[in-house]
Amino acid sequence: MSKHIIDYLRHTSIWAMLLIFAGLAADLAPDMAEQPLLLALAAGGALLFFTTEYTTHRFVFHMPPPKRPFALKMLKALHYDHHEDPNDLHHLFLPIWYGLSNFGILFLIVWGITDSIVYAEAVAAGGILALLYYEWVHFVAHRPIKPWTAYGRWMKKYHLWHHYKSERFWFGVTNPVLDMVFGTRRNEKQVEMSQTARKLHGNEPM
């Protein structure tokens, strides 16, 4: 397990996000006892991430190939290349620029709405912690690791169905809730094998 943890921590986006989270947590720690709202805001940031986990995966990462070469290159870096080689560590994690830009925008939005840097830090910290959990679950799904819990083992199979059975279903990586809500959770035995699971949309601009 230690080797796998090292492989997880080795990726630039992981240790960068860990450093940012540590900095936010250290700045928030003195205020936590006096402002219980900060924990609620952090939980809200995590919940927001787990919601966008599904919507971004389904509607952005799986969108038809854009005509502009730069946009297509970004989409390949974000997700298309991961489907082509699901176990390649280089494509397994979200790029650092993606996390930094998303949480930077989230921080500015919350700061603008609440006029409180501390509140914005709490929401961002919760979101980043959720991202790190997501990346670990995703990492475990694609590496020769047996999850400790029955739920973890089931989610690993659940995600691999998305890669090796059909890319049209099973978009949740950490949980199946929104798959259930939007009808993209299916019995894998009743789903036909997709010919485009490894090369989404053929990766040609439409």
Mean pLDDT by 10 residues, the chain (206 residues): 80 94 94 87 97 96 93 93 91 93 96 96 98 97 94 97 96 97 95 91 62
Angle between the 12-32 and 96-114 helix axes, to the nearest 10 degrees?
Answer: 20
Would 159 be classed as within a structural domain? no
| Rounded Cα distance, 199 and 35, in Å | 49
Would 68 be classed as within a structural domain? yes
Would 171 be classed as within a structural domain? no
pLDDT on residue 205: 54
| Rounded Cα distance, 97 and 74, in Å | 11
**10 Å Cβ neighbour count for 3?**
9
pLDDT on residue 34: 79
pLDDT on residue 1: 56
The residues, any chain, with a CB within 8 Å of residue 146's CB and separated by 6 or more, are: 153
pLDDT on residue 35: 83
Range of the domain at 7: 2-147
Would 6 be classed as within a structural domain? yes
Q: How far is CA 62 from the centre of its chain?
A: 14
Number of domains in the chain: 1
Would 186 be classed as within a structural domain? no
| Rounded Cα distance, 189 and 192, in Å | 8
Would 189 be classed as within a structural domain? no
Quick one: tokens of 118?
């501390």
CB 127 within 8 A of CB 166: no
Would 65 be classed as within a structural domain? yes
Would 160 be classed as within a structural domain? no
The residues, any chain, with a CB within 8 Å of residue 135's CB and separated by 6 or more, are: 8, 13, 14, 93, 94
pLDDT on residue 3: 78
